[in-house]
Structure 1
């Protein structure tokens, strides 16, 4: 696990994900405050501040993707077919143990990032909009951090299945920031609210769009089941491939 942490934190792209995840959400508080102050009325808004955490999820997604994609990147022009995974498997031939170490290392990094970002975002919201911000709730902060961690693991598992970080990252970013296919599906069937990226948000947001409202604990269990299924599938494919 120490080796996987060192590898993950040694990737320049991973630091891009860390910086984006740490800075983006708190920065939105400063950017949005003037317009929000004019628009808000004199009551507290349940999700004020928490909705800014959505953009920070991009950092968790990047970390989840590069934790795997970096292993399959060519090591140089002299040997385009060689990649880091070959050396990794030589050092740790037990693939199940390797996956556990990678998953734990990723979870630790994303959890620390999420805790710092969510706490800073909510504190800034209370400072900038003291009359409207919801009270600081450690349980909601923890739920948001868990959502970040689970999404990071979901990106990790998906990249491991397809062994292509560009496609995985593009799909996740487009779905989370440009047009959410999952949200569009909720217009067709309420069951789409149980897709992983939608149901996980119910863990800490209280005014989700749509008619389906899922209790936070139920949302957490469903999200965890999705991620567990993807991790099992990723482990199945990984243990049966040559590299």
Structure 2
């Protein structure tokens, strides 16, 4: 528990964490507003076919904040300090305080998970409020199972970013890959046009926990199970690699 508290403290001491929180809280609401405006125009025209998904699209696309969070939590350990501070890395100090590498990694993963869920709750509040503000009486009912699914999607996405960064020891690759995939173009969506196996990729399976897309083949429970399996394998691989890795490298 002491290691978990220390990791929470380190997370909130990072300058970039506040940028991650702002993006995580505001981006989903902005996307929900834009989608709701488009939905309202379709409702007035009598051609709306996506009304049940209104608002949820913001929670599906607006996960950039937790991606940054997951990447920062790990990459900050490998930043090289200034010569005045000794030119070392935070990871050496962290492993001096917590000698067990699996314990250290799991404490950090726990901190990332808790912060991601809290950030998602804030985002949900803003998304629901924004959707009601735009659609009024046309607002679809926000169901608790779907909102819980969205919170799991955010937490798992943060842990994917976390695990990939641990494996690569570089924040640029996972940040670019996951940010582009969640905002500009979904590689899973493009691959699904070639093979249905792409629907089992983590981001695509995760969305099935709270959104019903036309090509979906997984139930919300199975979507969550598939994404959890991806995260579990990635975290297990991170523990194995991290346990064998030379700190000095």
Band of TM-score, shorter chain? over 0.9
Task: Give the Cα separation in 1 of the matches to 2:139 and 2:189.
Answer: 26
Aligned to 2:138, the other structure's residue is in SS state: coil
**Equivalent of residue 69 in structure 2, options 50, 63, 66:** 63
Structure 2 match to 1:118: 124
Deviation at 1:124, TM superposition (A): 2.4
Residue 238 (structure 1) aligns with:
242
1:25 touches 1:117 (CA, 8 Å); kept in 2? yes
Encode CA deviations 1:161-206: one digit per residue, 9 max, x unaligned.
Answer: 0100011101111111122211111011111100001110000002
Number of residue pairs aligned between Structure 1 and Structure 2:
241
- Range with greater deviation from structure 2 (5-14 or 121-130): 121-130
**Equivalent of residue 220 in structure 2, options 201, 216, 222:** 216
- Looking at structure 2, the residues matched to 34 and 178 of structure 1 have their Cα atoms a distance apart, in angstroms, of 20
- Structure 2, unpaired ranges of 5+: none
Q: Deviations over 1:87-114 (max 9, x none)?
A: 1111111111111110111111000000
Q: Which of 60, 63, 69 is the aligned partner of 1:54? A: 60
Q: CA deviation at 1:42?
A: 7.7
Q: 2:22 aligns with which of 10, 19, 22?
A: 19
2:176 equivalent to 1:173: no
RMSD of equivalent CA atoms = 1.8
Q: Scaled by the length of structure 1, what TM-score is found?
A: 0.93
Tell me the equivalent position of 1:157. 163
* CA deviation after TM superposition for structure 1 residue 217, in Å: 0.3
The structural deviation recorded for 1:209 is: 4.5
Is the alpha carbon distance of 1:30 and 1:46 closer, same or farther for their aligned partners in structure 2, counting shifts above 3 Å? closer
Judge conservation of contact 1:74–1:80 (CA < 8 Å) in 2.
no
Alpha carbons of structure 1 residues 80 and 175: separation in structure 2 relative to 1, 3 Å: farther
2:230 corresponds to which residue?
Answer: 226
Q: Distance in 1 between matches of 2:197 and 2:35?
A: 33
Go from structure 1 to structure 2 and tell me whether the alpha carbon gap of 1:180 and 1:118 turns closer, same or farther (over 3 Å shift).
Answer: same
- Segments of 5+ residues of structure 1 without an aligned counterpart are none
Paired with 2:232 and 2:170, the residues of 1 have a C-alpha distance of 20
